[in-house]
Amino acid sequence: MTEISFFEAQKWAFSFIGKNDYETKNVIQMFLLNLRNWNELQLLQNQRMKLTDSEFSRFKSSLEMYLEDWPPQYIIGHTIFFGHRFEVTEDTLIPRPETEELVEWILKDEANGIRQKKVVDIGTGTGAIGISLKLEQPNWDVTISDISQKALLVAQKNSEALLANVDIVQSDLFAKLKDKYDVIVSNPPYIAYSEISLMDKSVIEHEPKKALFAEEDGLYFYRKIAQELPKYLREDGSLYLEIGFKQGKQVVDLFKGIGQVELKKDFYENDRMVKVVLKKGEKNVNHENL
């Protein structure tokens, strides 16, 4: 058995990586927690416990992959989103904290009363948005969809592990959807190809490009959704979108002729979310922060 404790392994890891910043601390802690499926309190309570040889080998291997620009979530195979553990693979994007704000916005605006709502999460990836909504509102009828069969296999695993009873449909946007919905939500590909040089190497090399990039300076999928929306969203229904931080005005302009539009910032004060309420004959725009 190795003679290194969890506390000593953490100190050694800072030296091995060559950094001692907040991000490095979080990554090291993530890898240590994953060794025994501990939470932060358990790690704190067991700082002096020794790692086994196999645990230290796994820990060192994780650090080596991280130094080769692998996202830590792919290394350990999961991430935490909205308080739940979601499996992630290179077939899915890694859910971001900003997207949790989109879930919070939907719940704040839509979870009023006991009426069952019909909801679809388009381009679901891991299923993080749709599954999180279902877990918070079990009476909602939630469908999750994606064009990628491999991503849907991951989403299915997550729905089963979290006991979330959602319908799963393979679809290119609305192509295989037949119903009208009270709530449509999507975090579609929205990064312009011209922005590749601004992105982290770990994202470009490992996250699925089809889930990241879009034509028309990143606006292609928003335009497609705007064209099809009236056929799939009920009157007084709501569309919620995550957007790129430079896309607020353009996305609002795409939907202003369809319904009442609201633009919302994230906790970094970047334009990040758009809501469209489909009201017959109404073309008002209420977009804060423009």
Q: What contacts 97, CB < 8 A, 6 or more positions away?
A: none
**Crossing angle of the two packed helices 220-232 and 248-255, in degrees rounded to 10:** 30
Half-sphere exposure of 43 (CA within 13 A, CB side): 19
State phi, psi for 19 to the nearest 5 degrees: -140, 160
Q: How far is CA 248 from CA 104, 105, 187, 255, in A?
A: 19, 17, 14, 11
Running DSSP on this structure, what letter comes out for residue 102?
A: H
218 is in an annotated binding site: no
52 is in an annotated binding site: no
Name the token pair of 87. Answer: 């499996």
Other beta carbons less than 10 A from residue 49's beta carbon: 12
Name the token pair of 70. Answer: 């692998």
124 is in an annotated binding site: yes
State phi, psi for 271 to the nearest 5 degrees: -60, 125
92 is in an annotated binding site: no
130 is in an annotated binding site: no
126 is in an annotated binding site: yes
CB 132 within 8 A of CB 103: yes
State phi, psi for 6 to the nearest 5 degrees: -60, -40
127 is in an annotated binding site: yes
121 is in an annotated binding site: no
Question: Binding site membership for S-adenosyl-L-methionine: which residues?
Answer: 123-127, 146, 187
Question: Binding site membership for substrate: which residues?
Answer: 187-190
Question: Binding site membership: which residues?
Answer: 123-127, 146, 187-190
